[in-house]
Structure 1
Amino acid sequence: MTTLHYLNGYPAALLERIQTLLEQDQLGTWLERKYPSRHDIQTDKALYQYVAELKQHYMKNAPALAKVAYDNQQHPVKGTLGTNTFVARVQGGKLKSKNEIRIAALFRDAPEAFLRMIVIHELSHLKEKDHNKAFYQLCCHMEPDYHQLEFDLRVWLTWRELA
């Protein structure tokens, strides 16, 4: 039996279903049926525009973003699919702050729904720093299927790792 470490904490019935699909070599087919197309957001510039549009639509009053980029250092095994950093520096007599979002480079090859879920997750950190109830409510406000997408992303990562 394969260890499904991306799916720790999910109910046994779901894990058994995913394990069965893996054993029957059907998990990739199931994922491709559910998420048939890849996105065209391949450059950091395109990613910045994509994030800026979502931010403008849902979070107009949130702090501006200084940088949005794909990051080759982000890796799901190490626990990071994306990061949101806030850096404050004193320049002259002023305090300057910059927000940066970095998304794991593996999302260049992911379905657009998974990229959107990660971007929404990181945008939500502009308002809520912790993973608390308000944070997940904000995520669900921007993406009503957030929790399903998070689960499906974990399944996709499992399939990608084992394929």
Structure 2
Amino acid sequence: MRRSARATRVRIVVTLNKIEVVAPLAVTEQHLHKFVSDKQQWILASQSKLLSKAPIQTAAPIRYSANSLIPYQGQSYPLVLSKTQQKQVKIQFDNGFIVQHPDSLDDEQSHNAIKNALIAWLKQQAKAQVHYYVSRHTATYQLKPRSIIIRKQKSRWGSCGIHNDININWLLIMAPPEVLEYVVVHELCHIKERNHSPAFWRLVAQHLPNYEQQRAWLKQHGLALMHSI
């Protein structure tokens, strides 16, 4: 929400990363809430259109060196490197990947060490996010998995075994967060509905009313994401 003395009317600006409501100073909060509510379908349609046309940002760098771009949650962030006397690669994230790597390694060794450390870091983030989304969605309809496994899969984003073991592809941490959430919900719903019947998709929609946007993103960008690293 942004108030502007120059604004003459309420308007909504939809981008990939946010929805901004620009309003004159005198407009009441009640009017703004009604305006946004009335425009909800237009907002969702605009988001879906932008999302379907968004360029995929999941290409891993050929070399893991300074300023290389690393895909993470639908965006790309630069590597900021510094050498250290420590024996292990240390990674921090602050609007970019801040990486300390051993000064005893040559360029090729540094490349491999940084790559392996980043993959391990991304897997950990994927695990944390998946567990968060599971906890967020299990309670409503008691869709409780027996176990949650995070791993790279060659042709699947997720699966639900006969004993309700959930598998999620860690590469989804490089997609927008909403896409990862959709895949988690998709597999959770298979605990109750074992096929892709209308009842299954209704259950998905009860958790994520706008799931079709995320499904469309995967259809368009999934192949590139699957081969990104």
Kindly indicate whether the alpha-carbon contact (under 8 Å) linking 1:48 and 1:69 is maintained by their aligned counterparts in 2.
no
Q: Which has the higher helix share?
A: 1
Give the alignment partner of residue 175 of structure 2, picking from 97, 101, 110.
110
Do the aligned partners of 2:145 and 2:191 also contact (CA within 8 Å) in 1? no
Q: Which runs of 5+ in 1 are unaligned?
A: 1-20, 88-98
Partner of 2:130: 47
Larger Rg: 2
* SS of equivalent residue, structure 1 residue 126: coil
Q: How many residues in Structure 1 have an aligned counterpart in Structure 2?
A: 116
Tell me: CA distance 1:112–1:66, structure 2 relative to 1, closer, same or farther (3 Å): same
After superposition, give the CA deviation of every residue in 1:90-115 in whole Å (9 maximum; x if it has no partner): xxxxxxxxx21010121122211000
Deviation readout 1:16-75 (Å, 9 max, x if unpaired)? xxxxx7xxxx7338xx9xx6599x87153552343122111x323x3x322112122x22
Q: CA deviation at 1:162?
A: 8.2
Aligned to 1:75: 154
Q: For 1:104 and 1:161, locate their aligned partners in 2 and report how far apart those are by CA, in whole Å.
A: 9
Change (3 A) 1:146 1:37: farther
The question of whether the paired residues in 2 share the 8 Å contact of 1:140 and 1:146 is answered with yes
Q: Identify the residue that residue 155 of structure 1 maps to in structure 2.
A: 220
Dislocated runs of 4+, deviation >2 Å: 26-29, 35-38, 43-50, 158-163
Contact 2:193–2:199 under 8 Å retained in 1: yes
Aligned to 2:161, the other structure's residue is in SS state strand
Does the aligned pair in 2 maintain the 1:47–1:69 contact within 8 Å? no
Query: Which residue of structure 2 lines up, in the alignment, with residue 28 of structure 1?
Result: 56
TM-score (ref. length: structure 2): 0.43
Matches within 5 A, 1:90-129: 99-129=164-194
Higher RCO (Cα < 8 Å, 6 or more apart): 1
1:134 matched to which residue of 2? 199
TM superposition score normalised by structure 1 = 0.59
- Paired AA for residue 28 in structure 1: I
Aligned counterpart for 1:86 among listed residues 154, 162, 167: 162
How far apart in 1 are the matches of 2:158 and 2:130?
A: 13
CA apart distance, 1:155: 1.6
